[in-house]
Structure 1
């Protein structure tokens, strides 16, 4: 009688994805972005270029997929004990991480993603965690879309389309407006 193996969690497809993602991240850290190619990634990952093209279509889609995976938060937003403090801590960390060169590149890559709205879901999820902490405190809470529009949107816009990201003082002013 043959023994049937159970399904392997993740299996070959998950291993290929992780290998390709790891190779992409490593190459982006080691060399100039413009020199990273699908054949280089494939060689590093131990797969053929056709595997990458079949799964992701092109380099920009692969870079977007890697960026989306990296954007997922590792933990909940910091709990400072106050709504204002939590939003401030979250916004300052977001500004710091995303205004770095790797952060800006990640944001640009995500623009090529096949998953529109994913970034809003990530940012909204983090802000919703903060709002949920204070929903029973009796204070009037801002709407999630209000926080996204008044804090996240200008932060992203300035990082991607301005000569300089928001200054921390400007970020604090936006937070105060959003919390009025």
Structure 2
């Protein structure tokens, strides 16, 4: 039932937009009783958050062995994931206070996004390369991507995502280069 309901939600979000999805429409599309959907999820927001939780890392890129390239690929993939139909709506539902008053949704979302970037950072560390700390990646790459997509800032495209990574990886007085030199 869960897979059918999730599939119905994704299809409806693509067809009519997240703001027009209703539990009766989801149930009809999934071929289940609306009371089953209400009993399991309660609200459309909770249902969208559950779908977002399950979809987060479908198709995430594997490390190639080059830190900058790997960070660029993850940044571009993150942008594409957030920009796809319903991406922002799924994100908003996942972190909405009415879904989870104790903010576990926010923590889980941050952990998933962090894990995406932790993979290439850990791989680089395993190769003995200097890598920026995860917190810097979140501040300089992830936060700007999410901000610009959520607020529909023009020019938020693949080039922008790659430029954020280039700026992150550029050696500077407080940032070591690939060999650990400052």
User: Taking structure 2 as the reference length, what is the TM-score of the superposition?
Assistant: 0.77
Q: Structure 1 residues 162, 105: CA separation in 2 closer, same or farther (over 3 Å shift)?
A: same
Q: Structure 1 residues 27, 174: CA separation in 2 closer, same or farther (over 3 Å shift)?
A: closer
Q: Structure 1 residues 31, 93: CA separation in 2 closer, same or farther (over 3 Å shift)?
A: same
Equivalent residues of 1:159, 1:165 under 8 A apart: no
**More displaced 10-residue stretch of structure 1: 122-131 or 108-117:** 108-117
Partner in structure 2 of residue 93 of structure 1 = 77
- Are residues 1:111 and 2:101 paired? no
Q: Structure 1 residues 149, 71: CA separation in 2 closer, same or farther (over 3 Å shift)?
A: same
Equivalent residues of 2:145, 2:156 under 8 A apart: yes
Q: Is there any run of 5+ residues in structure 2 with no aligned partner, and where? A: 170-174, 176-182
Equivalent residues of 2:22, 2:44 under 8 A apart: yes
1:25-67 Cα distance to aligned partner (Å, 9 max, x none):
2333343444431112112223322221221111111112112
Tell which structure's C-alpha radius of gyration is larger.
1
User: Taking structure 1 as the reference length, what is the TM-score of the superposition?
Assistant: 0.77
SS of residue in 2 equivalent to 1:73: coil
1:130 Cα deviation from its structure 2 partner: 0.5
- Are residues 1:80 and 2:70 paired? no
1:166 corresponds, among 151, 156, 161, to: 156
Equivalent residues of 1:99, 1:165 under 8 A apart: no
2:28 corresponds, among 37, 43, 48, to: 43
Partner in structure 1 of residue 178 of structure 2 = none
* RMSD (Å) for aligned C-alpha atoms: 2.2
**More displaced 10-residue stretch of structure 1: 169-178 or 119-128:** 169-178
1:122-166 Cα distance to aligned partner (Å, 9 max, x none):
111111111111113333221112111110111001000143252
Task: Tell me the number of residue pairs that the alignment of Structure 1 and Structure 2 aligns.
Answer: 164
CA–CA distance in structure 2, aligned partners of residues 74 and 148 of structure 1: 20
Deviating beyond 4 angstroms after TM superposition, the runs of 4 or more aligned structure 1 residues are none
CA–CA distance in structure 1, aligned partners of residues 116 and 17 of structure 2: 32
